Structure 1
Amino acid sequence: MDIFDALEERVERLVARKKALEEENAALRADVARLTEEKQAVAARIDGLMVTLQEELDL
């Protein structure tokens, strides 16, 4: 195997790794978006409970 074959193989591996990392990055970004939505939903529920408690305490 000459040096150009080795270089070509290395470049192909790097390109494949880049594509794999881009796919993993996209999946992680989707997870972050989903978790952010879940966090906001939980915060809204907690806020609602706090309002209910405050209203009961004010009576």
Structure 2
Amino acid sequence: MDIFDALEQRVETLVARKKALEEENETLRAEVARLTDEQKTVAKRLDGLLEKLREELEP
């Protein structure tokens, strides 16, 4: 039965690793979404500043 015990342990280890990777993936996806939103906010602010500069520099 030792081979079955070893196989059972290996399967349990793989299932636990899969669950951990799924959780990490979810965390990383949330981080990507947050950074994407932050990037959009920064881009909008820069666009606003560039527009102000254009208005000031126009004759």
TM-score, normalised by the number of residues in structure 2: 0.96
TM-score, normalised by the number of residues in structure 1: 0.96
| Structure 2 residue runs without a partner (length 5+) | none
1:6-58, Cα deviation, whole Å (9 max, x unpaired): 00000000000000000000000000000000000000000000000000001
Find runs of 4+ consecutive structure 1 residues off by over 2 angstroms: none
Aligned partner of 2:44 in structure 1 is 44
| Structure 1 residue runs without a partner (length 5+) | none
- Taking only the aligned residue pairs, the percentage that are identical comes to 71
Equivalenced residues, count: 59
RMSD: 0.9
How is 1:6-45 mapped onto 2 (pairs within 5 angstroms)? 6-45=6-45
